[in-house]
Structure 1
């Protein structure tokens, strides 16, 4: 057997992928995979216009993680697999003693520069000389594999990315994904749900955490969650996934594009994306709803754009972007708002139909609820308990009082809305001295079950301040009413006593200030009768105060009953005095009501224009 043929056959036993040409037994070809020891950072020109560099060095700063670097003009991706290196081997006559072997190198997708390939070919001839002109095919293949692990020394430093033209981006990224899939399909995994060993061809590896489950288990679980609307459970099923060093778990839902790769039906993924967006919009305190009662849709917002492409939905963990915040601030600056459901244009301040930017309007009063809204609000207050984190109303139909919010997954007490530790939620019900001590199973059949006195069992929680405020307001009203009643009773008793005294004893004669300069003291001399109703504003006139006091006319000798003038001089109750005072201006009355409600910032002083009597408030003596 020829020495060349013997060498190629022995190499075939080591590398089965070596293919010998059928028409030439001394020629062979092989594809050498390129899998660097560490993923290679490759930079592609970004589609966005380049931005000036932010550092002192020339060029742009790179983000070594996947995706686009902040402030850079290139996209950097980490590739674990690159297109293989194709080696063509020809052993001429006279090899190995007289002639060296002939090598030809080519890289898939032409990602290796030509000068690097020529350098590798010359390295084969140098290796033949180094081996004393002996058989070097195996040694040359081994040297190429070692160079491939170093990525042919194309980059000097591991953290520096290798720049590639934009036309290679799709091909290189697609090859890397397909190579990972082929490698994955050749392995065997134990599914974390059914606990059965499965080939990688019927399994799926989570992109973020790397946990492996069979496709059937993932499809059954995620389809059930999306159908029931439990989008917060569409995440990695592994119980330990997402836990940090403190043992606390961070829930991270899956991106719709990853669900399509499992694969999940596109209609189901569309429903998941819509429910997830709806949940974010409802939990956002800045969300504006359409004022039409039959619509109640969401207003258009750049912060939560409408989903048109499932592959372009941003990740939930990286959605807080400064650009979105700037767009949101611009939308707030403009009062024009458009409903995305019915395209109704309205003002975000007064919720009326759009009236232009230069029309002055005022915010809608929060107390202005429709009959339907008030009924819904009253029902929620009577039959739900709010979550202490997101204030979402929750209702219990059966079970214990340890609740988990469906919106934000917060653990809380249904009786008092207190926050509970997720690792020991029942300590709250076992602590003596608390209102919920030994009350874990109250309302076991639900708060609407027959015989449950909800108002007696509940201890307030987040609405405790509301109940206290209502009780304080009612107590204040009762105290004011009692005080007014006491004043009226005292005034009536005084009038009755004065009438009896005047009936049994005649009043003393009126003293003359000129003829009797030192009269005897009279206990009724300091009594000043109230002025008539038509003279209540006399004290408001300064000139009236400066007039000398006229002496009282002499009283009759001994009347049988008090004269009409004396009856008019009797003190009136306060409510009667207030009834005789002129009514205040409607603007003043509205201002006083707003002061009581702590809403005086919304009062407009223009309501008093054109009325000079608005501030003529009567002054009582």
Structure 2
């Protein structure tokens, strides 16, 4: 009866039986496979610490998604009286990667399942394979729960191992099954197919021909799932998916085209002003658009920090840019019509409030310059504007002490400054005072 039971078990699960001896010793390697992915919550716990130490110790919790867990290794001995009068003898049971530290309750649960005269090996395998034993051990709250609360002394160490096994298990299962390709309408093994993140499956040959053509033509927007539903959504392939289909040169071109497209779509991107760099620099995402900090840019390539408006070294959020540096930008904004696409692009690139403040500062500065040119005269020494309220046209700059003519702006000899107003033929002849027309005949001789 033992032989018949074992033959049936081996015919159903041939990959689970790792070894068998004539003495009734059997070793089984049983993976844990769920019907649907479950959330595995790995919480820090150590059976070597008491309750008070557990509370004092800082808890670590990591959550992963898994549809399979590493197998359990079950070593059993079938006595001659099994299954009529005695249960199988469990020599050892342990979990690979030690993902289940406390395995003793499972041993007791397996022994309790045996009923006198009834075979029990298949029930043991099913209990472990379906993961029902986790509910028996209290790790799953209810039988249909999607959450597994798994205590472990080192969650940060065991989490990557469980994730790697789950990925490998899914890949092996996928490679063994057969799937139809909706492009070439043929059914192929999973090893020759690729399942995209959207769950659609296509053969690698069809995806390779399609994606290579799109990359060659520069149409990176079409490098994605060819299914009509995903095409309508505009779903694009991830870098990992593209890397599994095309070669390295095509992958690098795809990445370059995608980066180029993203730069062209982003109106906030400006180029590094360093002549030998010219790297595209995006706007910081964690800065208020209307604040002065939104003008700050730092080149990721050469680390040069600059202002997005004037392209000069960063001068802080409060200092204004020199008007000569942003004059072209203000003129371009004023030249565009209200509500036009050109103005909308500038608003998106620099921020609506920022560009409005910049244009207002430009118009104010322009009005000030026009008034100065009309109402004041520039000092020929330091280029400061000087305004005269009254008196003669011989001026002395308060800043650089330069003597000059207020009417024409010419430098004057500080020793004999009035010679400029007494030379016939000059435009300022007899114009020491404005609005005073004095002819030669009106001069009176000085009596000594």
The answer as to 2:213 corresponding to 1:214 is no
Distance between the aligned counterparts of 2:239 and 2:368, measured in 1? 54
Distance between the aligned counterparts of 2:158 and 2:276, measured in 1? 53
Residues 160 and 10 of structure 1, relative CA distance in 2, 3 Å threshold: closer
Q: Which runs of 5+ in 1 are unaligned?
A: 47-57, 59-71, 243-248, 304-324, 371-385, 392-593, 615-621
Q: SS at 1:254's partner residue? A: coil
Task: Give 1:96 shift.
Answer: 3.6
Task: Give 1:358 shift.
Answer: 8.1
Give 1:154's aligned residue: 139
Give 1:95's aligned residue: 82
Residues 330 and 86 of structure 1, relative CA distance in 2, 3 Å threshold: farther
Distance between the aligned counterparts of 1:265 and 1:88, measured in 2? 46
Residue from 318, 321, 332 that aligns with 1:361: 321
The answer as to 2:224 corresponding to 1:235 is yes
Residues 283 and 75 of structure 1, relative CA distance in 2, 3 Å threshold: farther
Question: Does structure 2 conserve the Cα–Cα contact (< 8 Å) formed by 1:347 and 1:353?
Answer: yes
Instruction: Give the TM-score of the pair, scaled to structure 1.
Output: 0.46
The answer as to 2:18 corresponding to 1:30 is no
Name the structure, 1 or 2, with higher relative contact order (CA <8 Å, separation 6+).
2
Give 2:270's aligned residue: 288
How is 1:342-353 mapped onto 2 (pairs within 5 angstroms)? 346-352=306-312
Distance between the aligned counterparts of 2:12 and 2:222, measured in 1? 49
Per-residue CA deviations over 1:190-244 (Å, capped at 9, x if unaligned) read 212222221111000011x1111111121222222223221111111111226xx
Residues 302 and 168 of structure 1, relative CA distance in 2, 3 Å threshold: farther
Per-residue CA deviations over 1:142-178 (Å, capped at 9, x if unaligned) read 3444544866551216354534511112211111111
Residue from 151, 170, 178 that aligns with 2:168: 178
Q: SS at 2:158's partner residue? A: helix
The answer as to 2:215 corresponding to 1:226 is yes
Residues 347 and 613 of structure 1, relative CA distance in 2, 3 Å threshold: farther
Q: SS at 2:185's partner residue? A: coil
Per-residue CA deviations over 1:433-489 (Å, capped at 9, x if unaligned) read xxxxxxxxxxxxxxxxxxxxxxxxxxxxxxxxxxxxxxxxxxxxxxxxxxxxxxxxx
The answer as to 2:33 corresponding to 1:257 is no
Residues 101 and 327 of structure 1, relative CA distance in 2, 3 Å threshold: same
Task: Give 1:120 shift.
Answer: 2.4
Distance between the aligned counterparts of 1:332 and 1:111, measured in 2? 53
Residue from 180, 185, 196 that aligns with 1:190: 180
Residues 328 and 149 of structure 1, relative CA distance in 2, 3 Å threshold: farther
Task: Give 1:341 shift.
Answer: 6.1
How is 1:293-304 mapped onto 2 (pairs within 5 angstroms)? 296-299=278-281, 301=282, 303=284
How is 1:159-558 mapped onto 2 (pairs within 5 angstroms)? 160=147, 162-163=149-150, 165-207=155-197, 209-241=198-230, 249-260=232-243, 262-291=244-273, 296-299=278-281, 301=282, 303=284, 325-326=285-286, 333=293, 337-339=297-299, 346-352=306-312, 360-362=320-322, 364-366=326-328
Q: SS at 2:65's partner residue? A: strand
Please state which structure has a larger fraction of its residues in strand. 2
Distance between the aligned counterparts of 2:299 and 2:270, measured in 1? 9
Q: SS at 1:80's partner residue? A: strand
Give 2:70's aligned residue: 83
Residues 73 and 252 of structure 1, relative CA distance in 2, 3 Å threshold: farther
Distance between the aligned counterparts of 2:156 and 2:249, measured in 1? 33
* RMSD between superposed Cα atoms in Å: 4.3
Distance between the aligned counterparts of 2:225 and 2:39, measured in 1? 28
Distance between the aligned counterparts of 2:43 and 2:112, measured in 1? 38
Q: SS at 1:36's partner residue? A: strand
The answer as to 2:363 corresponding to 1:600 is yes
Instruction: Give the TM-score of the pair, scaled to structure 2.
Output: 0.62
Distance between the aligned counterparts of 2:306 and 2:283, measured in 1? 17
Q: Which runs of 5+ in 2 are unaligned?
A: 45-54, 333-339, 346-357, 373-384, 391-448
Task: Give 1:83 shift.
Answer: 0.9
Task: Give 1:77 shift.
Answer: 2.2
Distance between the aligned counterparts of 2:237 and 2:110, measured in 1? 49
Residue from 380, 384, 387 that aligns with 1:611: 387
Give 2:14's aligned residue: 16
